[in-house]
Structure 1
Amino acid sequence: MVRWVLAALIFIHGVARVAADGVVPFGAFLETRGFPFGLGLAWLVTVFELAAAPLFAWGRAVAPIALVFSAIYACGIWLVHAPAGWFVVGLGRNGAEYSVLIIACLLAIAWAHRPRALSRDGGLP
């Protein structure tokens, strides 16, 4: 259930960026922060959200997708949310708390879907 909800939230995040013509401004923002090829990177993140979220929901490549999403959201905290503080609403605005929760859920799901090591006899676990 948590995986499905996260997949839906992340997919909607990408859809909203495209629908609001936000990819170009996102790319420009990344360039102001020193990232080369900001527009290309913005499209890469957006397309990854749109393509990987359904795979994540369907249980395909869950751990690697969760780790990439975690990295994307960690960058969002670093670039946008941490400078705004902790709280999203109430005692602050646009803070990091929601993104931290998303990352915690993603990492827990990645851990639950991590590849298992081969057993001692060389067979599959």
Structure 2
Amino acid sequence: MTTLAARQGLDLVRWVLATLLFIHGLARVLAGGVAPFGAFLDAQGFPAGLVLAWAVTVFELVAAPVMAWGRWVTPVALVFAAIYACGIWLVHAPAGWFVVGLGRNGAEYSVLIIACLLANAWAYRRHPRLSKGAEP
């Protein structure tokens, strides 16, 4: 980053994203939502829906703190973006754009999360011309 303020702003976005993504997985576990998520994936034609549901949930619980810590931000953010893109495809796009107000359960919140994830992935990518340990 070129300025301290820009770096601090990106850190804030990364920490908030990581917190939201962690809570998403934690809430699923605490509410007993992993099995229904797996059944939903099975119904959509995914093989081993319960295994996939647990994989997504464990990823949220493990990778979100890693991203908050500032480690492996680019690959973690890209995987999260892919997961949320699938969520849009399977759940949110059919419900429309708006989450509340003019609609319900739409894609707008997920689009914002994906944009923030991709911005972090871009900012933390490794530049071939930079030294191995260089900051983004």
Q: Please give the range of the TM-score, normalised by the shorter of the 2 chains.
A: over 0.9
CA distance in 2 between counterparts of 1:38 and 1:100 reads 24
Scaled by the length of structure 2, the TM-score of the pair is 0.87
Paired position in structure 1 for 2:108: 97
1:35 and 2:41 aligned: no
Paired position in structure 2 for 1:75: 86
Residue 118 of structure 1: how far off its partner (Å): 3.1
Paired position in structure 1 for 2:60: 49
Residue deviations 1:65-103, cap 9 Å, x none? 000000000000000000000000000000000000000
1:106 and 2:124 aligned: no
Paired position in structure 2 for 1:86: 97
Residue deviations 1:30-78, cap 9 Å, x none? 0100100000000000000000000000001000000000000000000
Q: Please, which runs of 5 or more residues in structure 2 have no aligned partner?
A: 1-11
CA distance in 2 between counterparts of 1:106 and 1:55 reads 14
Q: Please, which runs of 5 or more residues in structure 1 have no aligned partner?
A: none
Aligned amino acid, residue 25 of structure 1: P
- Runs of 4+ aligned structure 1 residues displaced above 6 Å come to none
Aligned amino acid, residue 80 of structure 2: F
Paired position in structure 1 for 2:27: 16
CA distance in 2 between counterparts of 1:40 and 1:82 reads 24
CA distance in 1 between counterparts of 2:83 and 2:124 reads 19
CA distance in 2 between counterparts of 1:117 and 1:107 reads 19
CA distance in 2 between counterparts of 1:28 and 1:118 reads 47
Residue-pair matches, total: 122
Percent identity, aligned pairs only, is 75
